[in-house]
Amino acid sequence: MHMITRYRRRLIPAALAALAMGSPPAALAQDLPGGVLTVAMTVSDVPDWAGMPDQGFEGHRFVGYSLYEGLVSWDLSTSDQEVDIIPGLAEAWSIDPENPSRWIFDLREGVSFHDGCAWNAEAAVWNYQRLIDESHPGFNQVDFARARSRTSTIAEVELIDDMTFALHTTDVESLFPYNLVYVLMVSPCAYEAAGNDRAAYAATPSGTGPYVFGSAVPGERLELLRNDAYWNPDRIPQHERLVLLPMPEATTRAAALLSGQVDFVEAPSPDMIPALEGAGMTVVLNEYPHYWPYRLNVLEGPFADVRVRQAANYAINRDEMVALLNGTATPAFGAHTTNQRNFGEPYRFSYDPERARALLEEAGCLPCEVTIGISPAGSGQMQPLPMNELMQAHLSAAGFDVTFEVIDWNTMIGVFIRGAVAHPEYDAINFSSASMEPLQFVKSFMKRFQTPGGSNWGGYHHAEAEELMAAALQSFDPAEQDDLIRQAHELVVADAAQIFVVSDLNPRAMAPHVQDFVQAQSWFQDMTPIRVE
Amino acid sequence: MWVYAAKRVLYAIPIAIGVSVICFSLVYLAPGDPIQSLIPPDATAEDIETIRRLYGFDKPLVLQYLDWLARALTGDLGISLQSNRPVIDEVTRALGNTLAIAIAAILAAFVLATILGTLAAFNLGRPIDKIATSISTIGVSVPNYWMGIVLVILFAVQWRLLPATGMGGEGSEHFSWLQWDQARYAILPMVTMAMIPLGVVTRSTRSAVADTLSQDYVQLLRAKGLGEMQVVCHALRNALPQMLAVMGLQLGYLIGGSILIETVFNWPGTGLVMSRAILTRDIPLLQGTILVLALSFVAINLIVDLLQTVIDPRIKRA
């Protein structure tokens, strides 16, 4: 087992002093450290830098949140707390007391886009309008498609005054702000100067983020430069340049780090970690909202019976799975990790194959034949083939007869999007999940979010939990929201809604000269505090 | 000669059309939806239809093909679904990057294989023949991605003599074989890539030269008092058409089939682009890459055919 290295971000004394004295952040530029931070990402291409990024959360992590910001941001400043949303380009937001579908945003003063364009309500309206209105001159199908799951409930965009605007939702949706953290603001001036042509805009992209665009070689590298005039002095990058290289092969990333070509690599293979540590590299791990489950088809087949679902959860030896992964995971006992505020105190399924067999016998399903869709690779899927082989061994030992259908990752995405109704051939699918926001949890377990149109693949339904989650969606009191979701989580775990197996610990490796990285408990990370000594 | 060349070019046209039909339809035979990599997992049915319409995937397949073909004839292969960049730019850049090491690899392999194969043929059964045959067997049988990893561990990680990955500190746009700080990035992938052609061409050269040496006219040449070097030249000239054919095929394979090597070295060539297109189900990029690679293969074979006729006019008459 590897030590979990935790860092706390150091405060930047100079920046704080400057703030206290009221100096503009730009005045600090001459005192800022230099250095180039070169990062090997796991993606196969440079994430799109011309607005809404592609390449999943890694695209947001390295490019989206470096160049751009949303109304709402993530607080990624610590490694020992669950990450939640904080004000971003909006200083505050509130629900209209007379209209629970009208969200009012007070925008942050004194912020400019990299090209000097002012951040104000007009810019905010322009950005949201172009994502929902096909007739808007700034509309582009790429950004529309990438933002759609976050903007589909926006009915209207309303300009109130210079620094205030409102978003109207199609229904009462108390968790709506969690959507806005993914919707990134581009400079209307830069976009219009590029003739509203997304490809032309890509040559001079402009956001409000802590980095400005430097240069790019498509498919190979993206170079970002420190934004000396960034509005938040706490997050002015502590290195001069950030170079991002796509490097999908784990062995190649490790070789690049060991040979000194890069300073920081994402997701080293668990097998490589001892070698990297032996060579003096720093390997960091931390919990984050991820879990690796089997999503069960509860509409028909063996998993419609709660006893079979519970049997499967008892059958899994999670500690052995963690050992297989060389300590880069932690046992999962629910859809939230144990340190998330909404984990609660759910029933914990321990490893008990005898009890699993007894439950299968009681359910009249022994041996219990199940067909499970798995993929050989995929985002968040960890090491799917060896892990599924171990799952098969555990389930078989408890009385299951498991048949795997191996399908490629894109086919698996299609199976997930269409749902279990369209794919009754699968009793379960192995499809990992992010549960970083209450909204994601609700979409995974509420019947009304059964796919398509949600993330509840197997049509799961628990009447009491459904009521709790529906109440959470209507409540505007964060404490009450959390309480309702916590209770719902406890219920769906006891009901064995899925087979919860492990959560990834998100390993990263870096050269000894890379200092001050704070690994937040998140899919996203803040690269700005890193110093390259 | 020109008539023969024109005929061969004309023969290539139906092949190119066939290739276009096959590459367009093949990608639709794979399971799944072409837009599924674009839509979020929780997309509603309405959103899915909207996105399908915006990208033009709602039109009948035949119309999509004709539209694609009409644009392809003008050099427009569409826009990549993932990167949102023109496919033609993506593919030509990648093809140039692959050619940079593939041509170097094939030339290095050809020169070395010609020497080894000829030496082996002139020394059949002797130690030098056994050494050449062993090198050839290693080249053909050792998996090149494994060889690549071993070379990286030795030359980049252990000895730090050469870089492990990529195409230069500033990317492919600044790459040049004439500048050592750039060229050194290409050495390990080039050597790895040369291994299979080295093995194949050595075997083929050995066999062709040995076959020529067993001909009566070679005995006559020797009887007339020609030196061994002149005999070698005669033997090589007769073996050259066969060697060229093998080399052309190998170059074609290297251009289109270097996915593993390019992945190991993170070399931004056609293999990496194709792998990316397959993994992200980027259909326009996949179609464009397959089309360009298939046409390159046709073009290389055409050039080899024409070269063969220049070297050996009997081929044209046949």
B54/A409 touch (CB, cutoff 8 Å), yes or no: no
Closest by CA position to A49, among listed A266, A201, A247, A230: A201
Burial class (CB in 10 A: 0-12, 13-18, 19+), A405: middle
Window B:117-156, CB contacts with A under 8 Å: 149, 152-153, 156
pLDDT tens digit sequence for B46-85: 888 888 888 888 888 888 888 888 888 888 888 888 888 8
Longest dimension (CA), chain A: 74
Q: Is A41 on the interface with B (CB under 8 A)?
A: no
Place of tokens 């904080």: A86
pLDDT tens digit sequence for A287-296: 999 999 999 9
Tens of pLDDT along chain B (318 residues)?
678 778 877 887 888 788 888 877 766 776 667 777 777 777 788 888 888 888 888 888 888 888 888 888 888 888 888 888 899 999 999 999 999 999 999 999 999 999 999 999 989 999 999 999 999 999 889 998 899 999 999 999 999 999 999 998 888 888 999 999 999 999 999 999 999 999 999 999 999 889 888 888 888 888 888 888 888 888 888 888 888 888 888 888 888 768 889 999 999 999 999 888 888 788 889 888 988 888 888 888 888 888 888 877 776 655
DSSP helix/strand/coil, A62: helix
d(CA A112, CA A89): 10
Window B:32-91, CB contacts with A under 8 Å: 32-33, 35-45, 47-48, 50-51, 54-55, 82-86, 89-90
Q: How confident is the model at residue A496 (pLDDT cuts 50, 70, 90)?
A: very high
Closest by CA position to B140, among listed B194, B195, B102: B195
User: What is the domain partition of chain B in residue ranges?
Assistant: 96-284
Place of tokens 């090198």: B135
Torsion of CA A44, A45, A46, A50, to 10 degrees: -130
Tell me phi and psi for residue B289, to 5 degrees: -65, -45
The CATH homologous superfamily to which domain B96-284 belongs is: MetI-like (1.10.3720.10)
DSSP helix/strand/coil, A49: coil
Token code pair at residue A147: 């933002």
Nearest CA in chain B to A443: B42
A413/B41 touch (CB, cutoff 8 Å), yes or no: yes
**Residue of A144, A255, A411 lying closest to B54 (CB–CB):** A144
- Residue pair A269/A255 in contact (Cβ under 8 Å)? The answer is no
Token code pair at residue A498: 């899925």
Helix axes B228-256, B283-311, angle to 10 degrees: 170
B31/A256 touch (CB, cutoff 8 Å), yes or no: no
The size of the A-B interface in CB pairs under 8 A is 158
Closest by CA position to A530, among listed A208, A226, A252: A226
- Residue pair A50/B82 in contact (Cβ under 8 Å)? The answer is no
Write b or e for each residue in B124-134: b if 16 or more Cβ atoms lie within 10 A of its Cβ, otherwise e.
Answer: eeeeebeebbe
d(CA A350, CA B52): 45
Residues in chain A: 533
d(CA A522, CA A60): 12
Token code pair at residue A152: 């589909």
Window A:240-259, CB contacts with B under 8 Å: 245-249, 251-252, 255-256, 258-259
Place of tokens 């960890």: A382
* Neighboring chain B residues of A45 at a CB cutoff of 8 Å: 82-83, 276
In Å, how far is B284's CA from the nearest CA of chain A?
15
> What are the structural domains of chain A?
1-24+69-194 (3.90.76.10), 32-68+209-286+507-533 (3.40.190.10), 291-504 (3.10.105.10)
Question: What are the distances in angstroms from CA A294 to CA A297, A313, A450?
Answer: 10, 10, 16
ipTM confidence: 0.85
* DSSP state string for A453-504: SSSBTT----HHHHHHHHHHHH---HHHHHHHHHHHHHHHHHTT-EEEEEEE
